Structure 1
Amino acid sequence: MTHPHVTDKHPGELADVPGWFPPLDQMLFTWFLERQHRQGTHGDLLELGVYMGKSAILLGRHLRPGETFTVCDLFEGEAPDGANQAEAAKSYSSLTRQAFERNYLSFHDTLPTVIAAPSSVVAEKVAPGTCRFVHIDASHLYEHVHGDIGAAHDILLPDGIVVLDDFRSEHTPGVSVAAWEAVLNRGLRPVCLSTQKLYGTWGDPEPLQEDLLEMLRQRTDVGLSVQEAAGHRLIRTRSRGMKPPPFPTSRHYVAPVPAPAPAETAEPRAARPARPAPSRARRLARDLLPPVLTRAVRRARASRA
């Protein structure tokens, strides 16, 4: 990403946390994680690249007793090479560990396990075959993404889910090359594609895809198409005005004060125009003429009008 955010406030809602996590991907993350819960799948969670914590906060919501959530990011640390350092300086200059932890603890009581280092160290820190869900959103350079995908393969459970961010953005061709290389040459099986992310598994994608299609076809806020490419079924999704799924507010949330209703006031009745005062001659005629003659004069005037 190329537009750094600055934040120094406690978020009240997930939408207040800076970052790039569209409603479609929030819905898909939630669906995959809840399905794992329904299926009785146990395992740890891992995120490579956290930025300000928006997706990590959602992932932490689905952590269950006995499981570990690990996040890895450079934060203010030194990148392993010049190209990665230039990328971090350009796109993530506002990222600090303090900002991430402040945002995360606004929604959760405890922090995940934080690795402040390049993602290349994760294979040494997280045991193989322990995670059920891995989100990769760290460096966008091909060499680093290639390594992150390899680490995810070893760390994931056989039917675990890996999510690759920015796999088709115009400014991240390295991610695209690494992602499709993994599909064509490294055994990764796509489950679905969103506008921003590729969801895949090294297990059997068919049961996942059937359940996913059943859910998506019941929604009117998702554009859906299914294609075949290189022997893979590709479920393509896009948002149609989708709203984010419900998510609990933070401990700092302050409900907006409703605007006071306008006071009801009775509309004033339109004033009747004042009658002009009768002239002196008309007053004399009214007082001196007999009533019968007065009525005759009025009828004559009315007939001339």
Structure 2
Amino acid sequence: MTAVTADHSADHLPRPTRLSEVKGWFFTADQLLFDWFLRHQQDRSVTGDLLELGAYLGKSAIFLGARLRPGERFTVCDLFDSPAEDDLNSREMAKSYATLTRRAFEANYLAFHEELPVIVQGLSSSVVEHVAADSVRFAHIDASHLYEHVHGDILAVRELLADRGVVVMDDYRAEHCPGVAAATWQAVTGHGLRPICVTGTKFYGTWGDPEPYRGALLAWLAGRDDVWHEVQQVNGGPLVRLSAKGAREPAHPVSRYAAAPERPAERVPVAGGSTTEPAGAAGAARPAAGRPAPRPPRGVLRRVARDVLPPIVTRALVRARKRARKRARKRARKR
């Protein structure tokens, strides 16, 4: 991979300040599982590259890229704004992903990372020409929702995954994607894919031995009171089902556009263990004893509130300020 500098000269390119501002569907339970599987693989010395088929605007790719280890390769395959080769696929692209462009994906990704992943712009079936067999430890399939394409994606990923590799299927149970469900469970019943766990939106499985993953996952879940889970029997084996409503999301990569946190002033030690004023602040004016320190300008406070507080709180404060001004004007008119 070569380093790429983000080109944000055009005003319409996105400037996300946090991962939540990148459009896409990547819920807390799956963020926790992506993070857990990738950490578990690292702890167990499971080696290999990362792969994503279908990127939309990059939300899950940004998350995956932050967990890439030195020497590993991350490949993202998507049509982006290229034409599909069949009418059904073209209609799906036009209906669901009309705003998807490679430039928007790259702008989002480079807001959080110094360089892009390896990008294969084309049908997901072409990924086998760019990724070596048995080289991938974690693959995320979220490309076409049409049965024929999803079935082909699953078989392609089977050839690319290493022995202890994990595959994740998006939309395996969504009512608008019956083709994904059909292809996923056909892989389980007819192509040796062994389930590990499921969330409300994604299926996690392996063509290797699922038990080491499943046992470690259940041990991890037993130590969390914010993630609900149960174990069911599917196709002769256990399947963990979990939900993470209300759980805290794992660490996100930091955007280059995020507001820089204020750095506490460094106090300089002196003899006797006491400290002087913060370095570089010897000449700074100090408020006189008994007098309050000057307040920051109102514009500064507004910017801090906008950047730090949740939007719902900021809106409530704005409404309260408007009501207070309205009451003050009414009192002034009565005088």
Could you say which TM-score interval applies, normalised by the shorter chain?
A: 0.7 to 0.9
Count of residue pairs brought into register by the alignment? 254
Q: What residue is the counterpart of 2:219 in the other structure?
A: 214
Q: Which amino acid aligns with 2:238?
A: R
Q: Which moved further from structure 2: 223-232 or 111-120?
A: 223-232
The reply on whether 1:51 has 2:98 as its aligned counterpart is: no
Q: What residue is the counterpart of 2:304 in the other structure?
A: 257
Cα displacement (A) at 1:234? 0.9
The reply on whether 1:62 has 2:47 as its aligned counterpart is: no
Q: What residue is the counterpart of 2:14 in the other structure?
A: 9
1:252 is paired with a residue whose SS is coil
Q: Distance in 2 between matches of 1:117 and 1:244?
A: 32
Q: What residue is the counterpart of 2:288 in the other structure?
A: none
Cα displacement (A) at 1:239? 2.1
Could you tell me which runs of 5 or more consecutive residues in structure 2 were left unpaired when the two chains were aligned. Answer: 1-11, 261-302, 307-316, 318-335
2:217 is paired with a residue whose SS is helix
From 69, 77, 89, give the equivalent of 1:72.
Answer: 77
Q: Distance in 2 between matches of 1:229 and 1:137?
A: 23
Q: Distance in 2 between matches of 1:72 and 1:246?
A: 25
Q: Which amino acid aligns with 1:208?
A: Y
Q: Distance in 2 between matches of 1:9 and 1:220?
A: 37
From 128, 133, 137, give the equivalent of 2:142.
Answer: 137
The reply on whether 1:241 has 2:249 as its aligned counterpart is: no
RMSD, matched Cα: 1.4
Q: Which amino acid aligns with 2:82?
A: G
Q: Which amino acid aligns with 1:163?
A: V
Structure 1 runs (4+) deviating above 2 angstroms are: none
The reply on whether 1:98 has 2:103 as its aligned counterpart is: yes
1:257 is paired with a residue whose SS is helix
Q: Which amino acid aligns with 2:107?
A: R
Q: Which amino acid aligns with 1:27?
A: L
Q: What residue is the counterpart of 1:293 in the other structure?
A: none
Q: Distance in 1 between matches of 2:244 and 2:187?
A: 26
From 137, 145, 160, give the equivalent of 1:155.
Answer: 160
Cα displacement (A) at 1:9? 2.4
Cα displacement (A) at 1:258? 3.9
Cα displacement (A) at 1:39? 1.0
Q: Distance in 2 between matches of 1:182 and 1:142?
A: 12
Q: Please give the per-residue CA displacement for 1:202-230, whole angstroms capped at 9, x wherever unaligned.
A: 01001100100011122122121101122
Q: Distance in 1 between matches of 2:15 and 2:224?
A: 33
TM value normalised by structure 1: 0.81
Could you tell me which runs of 5 or more consecutive residues in structure 1 were left unpaired when the two chains were aligned. Answer: 1-6, 262-305
2:52 is paired with a residue whose SS is strand
Q: Please give the per-residue CA displacement for 1:85-137, whole angstroms capped at 9, x wherever unaligned.
A: 10000000011001000010011101000011010101111110100000000
Q: Which amino acid aligns with 1:74?
A: L
From 227, 230, 233, give the equivalent of 2:235.
Answer: 230
Q: What residue is the counterpart of 1:295 in the other structure?
A: none
Contact between 2:187 and 2:193, CA under 8 Å: does it hold in 1?
Answer: yes
Identity %: 53
Q: What residue is the counterpart of 1:85 in the other structure?
A: 90
Q: 1:248 to 1:126 in 2, by over 3 A?
A: closer
Q: Distance in 2 between matches of 1:18 and 1:8?
A: 13
Q: Which amino acid aligns with 1:116?
A: Q
Q: Distance in 1 between matches of 2:252 and 2:23?
A: 16
1:132 is paired with a residue whose SS is strand
Cα displacement (A) at 1:14? 0.8
